[in-house]
Amino acid sequence: MASSKEKSFRRIKKSYTWFSVISLILFFLISAAVINGALIFFVLYSVNAKLDSQYAIIDHMANIYEESVRNNDATLRDVLIIKECPDFFVLDKNGKELERHGKNTYTTTGGQLGTLFGHKDYLVYEDAENKLLLFTDGGLVIPAPIPLYHKANQQLNTDEVKAGDSLEDIDDREVVTMPVWIETGLSDGSRFIAKGQIQIRFADFIIFLIVFMCLNLIVLLLLVIRLIKLISGFIRRKQMTELFLVDDVTKGNNWMAFLLKGERILKKRKNAGRRYAMIHLVIVEYRNYCMCHSLEEGQRLLFRISCVIEESLSKKEELSAHVSSSSFALLIEAENDDAVKERFDQLLKELKNVDIPQGKKQPGHSDTFHIFRFQAGVQIIEPDTVDGKVVKRKDARIEYYYNNAVTAKSTLGTTDDDGIAFFDSQLMEEERWIETVKEHQQKALDNEEFVVYYQPKYSPDKSELIGAEALIRWQSPDFGFVPPGRFIPVFEKNGFITHIDHYMICHVAKDQKKWLDAGMRCVPVSVNVSRAHFAESDLADQILNMIDSIGTPHNLIEIELTESAFFDDKNAIIETIERLKSYGFSVSMDDFGSGYSSLNSLKDMNLDVLKLDADFFRGDADPARKEVVVSEAIRLAKRLNMRTVAEGVEEKEQVEFLKQQGCDMIQGYYFAKPMPKEEYEERMKEIYHVPD
């Protein structure tokens, strides 16, 4: 499952894009609406204002007409029919024409309008000859920009231009005349309908068009600025994405890019039925290469390796990334395990000589180049199925798959050879067990689920019990009896082993004190102290305080450390050994001969006991050679004033041989297996005849 960082990255990326695009669209729509609204308002306001003016004139004419009829005043009637007065006619209630002046071009197409400030409503009709004002269901409209409409149709009414007129005078006389018929009612129910002349100067429209164009230019400028910011934002986001998703060394994908892209590949519906392999590819001894050459050369090497890997992949549905200094992650299609191995082998062939420059790969070339080795761990990603039917992968756990691939690679050990390992169910169970141990370790310690077993050490000549080794077992209420090989390596890896060391020393000291108080003859018991514990400078004082708090004699506790501990801080270990010995504790080396620096360790360490590794007595090596090695080791220990213990002895012939060589103690199944403390206590009583 993608991490919260990945989800946040995608969410920020998407929200930024959509917010920018949506804000740009909204800005454009709002600006267009404002400009168009201003245009409509300006035109309608101008026309309505002039209509109101014409209505006032015609209403006044109607009053004059009605007054002349009422008083039969011819003078008043003459006022209405002078040349400059508009055309008009009067209709009675039945629509019969009572009187007319001028040409009747009235049409019945029209509607009711209110005055600009809503004081009174009146009827307006279109003119039959010049339809510049039209009526629709929505009210009064103008069919086109009036000056252009008139110029195109040769209908612009202008006064004759006279010589000596200025441009301002000419512009003032360039007007647009829009005829419209306006009706007002008379007191007797008759209808007075007159032809109004709405005149708008061409200069007014020029000013409006200039303002309109300026507004459009401003909006366009703002739109361009916003668009530039949007594009620059996209560019910056792309640069940030590259910074976030591109590896600095290889210029290819980094781990985050691998997570995001790998998830998309696995979640595609068309890839639901495909089998994939997650690969953890490691360059063996990459650090050594950098030390011998340079870090810069190492980075150039990584770049070349990345290029070779990229060329081996399918461009669409496969992926690779540089994950750490010496490792790469690959996601490839995998029909079966053999196909993965075949592709890995082919990739190795290409990568083997990646250090050889182009043009120098001819046979017999005298130059020498580094030959690289690679190891890989593989996790096969099977299709998801429900009731036997392949379904889309909803949960593509890239990190989980890669972690399994890393685990598989770890099974190759410390070898420097090429190799490939597959993660299987056994490894999965092992990983689950490790997590289980970690989850239960503290609870097991608190509840004292760890029990002490004792394996006796015997004298080879008298078969006398002269010592023992304390060994740990886990008696878990959840998992039953757990052997040490199942949990000690986990504790050594996670550091919990130091708690086990304290636990064992305390319990052995308590047992020794109990047996001593019961009058039993106690023998020294060796307790293993982990390699990690010897890194603590006050280890000797810790052990001293624990033993003294219990009251156990120091000579009954032997501190045992493994030979591998000597590969750490030698000076610190030597100091700890000397302090332990000064406190009266014996110190022994366990597994002598299992490493490659045993003799060098003996040179510096003032030890009391040397334990011969069980491997001395196993295997198919020449028996005579084994006897020589063992006998010389015993002889060396005696010359260094050290006692010897042979562990892992299972046969009588081995006992006889060790007896002849003067080995001090024998520990192994020939005499006794590790046993619970109750059984060990009974054996002590039996040998030394201690009464119950």
Q: What is the Cα–Cα distance from 544 to 581, expressed in whole angstroms?
A: 11
Q: Note the pLDDT of residue 458.
A: 93
Q: Tell me what the mean pLDDT of segment 114-123 comes to.
A: 68
Are 14 and 145 members of one domain? yes
Report percent pLDDT > 90 for the chain.
30
Q: What is the Cα–Cα distance from 520 to 517, expressed in whole angstroms?
A: 7
Q: Tell me what the mean pLDDT of segment 536-542 comes to.
A: 89
- Checking if the pLDDT of 227 tops 70, the result is yes
Are 448 and 386 members of one domain? no
Q: Which of 395, 423, 451 is the last residue of a domain?
A: 423
Q: Note the pLDDT of residue 594.
A: 59
Q: Tell me what the mean pLDDT of segment 265-291 comes to.
A: 90
- Checking if the pLDDT of 145 tops 50, the result is no
Contacts made by residues 130-137, CB under 8 angstroms, sequence distance 24+: 130/155, 130/178, 130/179, 132/176, 132/178, 132/179, 133/47, 133/178, 133/180, 133/198, 134/109, 135/109, 135/110, 135/111
The range of the structural domain enclosing residue 565 comes to: 442-686
CATH number at residue 587: 3.20.20.450
Strand (E) or helix (H) holding 689: none
Confidence of residue 139 (pLDDT cuts 50, 70, 90): low
**CA 252 to each of CA 73, 162, 256, 405, 632: distance values in angstroms, whole numbers, following the listed order:** 103, 81, 11, 21, 59
- Count Cβ atoms below 10 Å from residue 439 Cβ, excluding itself: 9
> Is 141 a domain residue?
yes
What DSSP designation does 158 have?
A: B
Q: Note the pLDDT of residue 163.
A: 41
Which of 1-5, 124-128, 211-215, 353-357 ranks highest by mean pLDDT? 124-128
Q: Note the pLDDT of residue 79.
A: 74
Tell me phi and psi for residue 36, to 5 degrees. Answer: -65, -40
> Is 617 a domain residue?
yes
Q: What is the DSSP string of 92-150?
A: -TTS-EEEEES---EEEEEEEEE-TTSS-EEEEEEESS--SSEEETTEEE-SS-HHHHH
Q: Tell me what the mean pLDDT of segment 452-475 comes to.
A: 92
**CA 439 centroid distance within chain:** 27
Are 397 and 463 members of one domain? no
Q: Note the pLDDT of residue 119.
A: 60
Query: 135-139, 179-183, 635-639: which has the minimum mean pLDDT?
Result: 135-139
Are 17 and 130 members of one domain? yes
Q: Which of 392, 423, 454 is the last residue of a domain?
A: 423
Q: Note the pLDDT of residue 689.
A: 52
Q: Tell me what the mean pLDDT of segment 595-609 comes to.
A: 73
Which of 58-67, 140-149, 412-421, 575-584 ranks highest by mean pLDDT? 575-584
Are 305 and 344 members of one domain? yes
* Cβ contacts of 250 within 8 Å, gap of 6 or more: 302, 303, 305, 306, 322
Confidence of residue 442 (pLDDT cuts 50, 70, 90): very high
What is the C-alpha end-to-end distance of the chain, expressed in Å?
Answer: 64
Mean pLDDT for all residues in the chain: 81
**Burial classification of residue 191, based on how many CB atoms lie within 10 Å of its CB (0-12 exposed, 13-18 middle, 19 or more buried):** middle
- Checking if the pLDDT of 178 tops 90, the result is no
Q: What is the DSSP string of 484-508?
A: GGGTHHHHHHHTTHHHHHHHHHHHH
Are 15 and 106 members of one domain? yes
> Is 459 a domain residue?
yes
> Is 208 a domain residue?
yes
The b/e string for 347-386 (b: 16+ C-beta within 10 A; e otherwise) is bbeebeebbeeeeeeeeeeeeeeeebbbbbbbbbbeebee
Q: 667 near 470, Cβ under 8 Å?
A: no
Q: Tell me what the mean pLDDT of segment 531-539 comes to.
A: 82
Q: What is the Cα–Cα distance from 452 to 676, expressed in whole angstroms?
A: 7
Q: Scanning the structure block, which residue is given the tokens 């290819």?
A: 252
Q: Note the pLDDT of residue 144.
A: 46
40 closest CA partner among 222, 210, 216, 212: 212
* Cβ contacts of 503 within 8 Å, gap of 6 or more: 445, 450
Q: What is the Cα–Cα distance from 517 to 359, expressed in whole angstroms?
A: 84
Q: Note the pLDDT of residue 74.
A: 78
> Is 385 a domain residue?
yes
Are 274 and 180 members of one domain? no
- Checking if the pLDDT of 237 tops 80, the result is no
- Checking if the pLDDT of 353 tops 80, the result is no
* Cβ contacts of 108 within 8 Å, gap of 6 or more: 125
Q: Tell me what the mean pLDDT of segment 85-106 comes to.
A: 87
Confidence of residue 623 (pLDDT cuts 50, 70, 90): confident
SS (H, E, C) 438-470: HHHHHHHHHCCCEEEEEEEEECCCCCCEEEEEE
* Cβ contacts of 558 within 8 Å, gap of 6 or more: 467, 524, 525, 526, 527, 585, 586, 587, 588, 608, 609
Q: Tell me what the mean pLDDT of segment 678-687 comes to.
A: 86
**Burial classification of residue 395, based on how many CB atoms lie within 10 Å of its CB (0-12 exposed, 13-18 middle, 19 or more buried):** exposed
Are 196 and 55 members of one domain? yes
Q: What is the Cα–Cα distance from 647 to 641, expressed in whole angstroms?
A: 19
Q: Is the pTM of this model over 0.75?
A: no
Tell me phi and psi for residue 269, to 5 degrees. Answer: -60, -40
Q: What is the Cα–Cα distance from 605 to 390, expressed in whole angstroms?
A: 65
Are 384 and 458 members of one domain? no
Both structure tokens of 446: 């608190």
Q: What is the Cα–Cα distance from 132 to 156, expressed in whole angstroms?
A: 12
Q: What is the Cα–Cα distance from 246 to 321, expressed in whole angstroms?
A: 9
Structurally, how many domains does the chain consist of? 3
> Is 462 a domain residue?
yes
> Is 460 a domain residue?
yes
Higher pLDDT, 52 or 502: 502
Both structure tokens of 432: 């689950």
Both structure tokens of 237: 């986001």
- Count Cβ atoms below 10 Å from residue 556 Cβ, excluding itself: 22
Q: 591 near 562, Cβ under 8 Å?
A: yes
Q: What is the Cα–Cα distance from 73 to 481, expressed in whole angstroms?
A: 133
Query: 169-178, 307-316, 453-462, 618-627: which has the minimum mean pLDDT?
Result: 169-178
Q: Tell me what the mean pLDDT of segment 11-24 comes to.
A: 63
Query: 122-136, 216-230, 589-603: which has the minimum mean pLDDT?
Result: 589-603
Which of 77-81, 187-191, 468-472 ranks highest by mean pLDDT? 468-472
- Checking if the pLDDT of 244 tops 50, the result is yes
What DSSP designation does 394 have?
A: S
Residue ranges of E strands in 241-324: 276-283, 319-324
Both structure tokens of 410: 């770890």
Q: What is the DSSP string of 566-634?
A: GGS-HHHHHHHHHHHHHTT-EEEEEEETSSS-HHHHHHH---SEEEEPGGGG-SSS-HHHHHHHHHHHH
Are 149 and 276 members of one domain? no
Confidence of residue 360 (pLDDT cuts 50, 70, 90): very low
For helices 570-582 and 539-550, the axis angle rounded to 10 degrees is 30
Q: Scanning the structure block, which residue is given the tokens 């005055």?
A: 115
Q: 442 near 495, Cβ under 8 Å?
A: no
Q: Which amino acid is at 494?
A: N
> Is 223 a domain residue?
no
Give SS3 for 392: coil
Query: 116-130, 238-252, 253-267: which has the minimum mean pLDDT?
Result: 116-130
Which of 2-11, 20-29, 427-436, 503-512 ranks highest by mean pLDDT? 503-512
Higher pLDDT, 520 or 596: 520
Q: Tell me what the mean pLDDT of segment 658-681 comes to.
A: 92
Q: Tell me what the mean pLDDT of segment 308-336 comes to.
A: 89
Are 411 and 501 members of one domain? no
CATH number at residue 277: 3.30.70.270
Q: 100 near 89, Cβ under 8 Å?
A: yes
Q: Note the pLDDT of residue 187.
A: 86
Q: 159 near 173, Cβ under 8 Å?
A: yes
Are 12 and 50 members of one domain? yes
**CA 485 to each of CA 172, 471, 481, 674: distance values in angstroms, whole numbers, following the listed order:** 109, 11, 12, 14
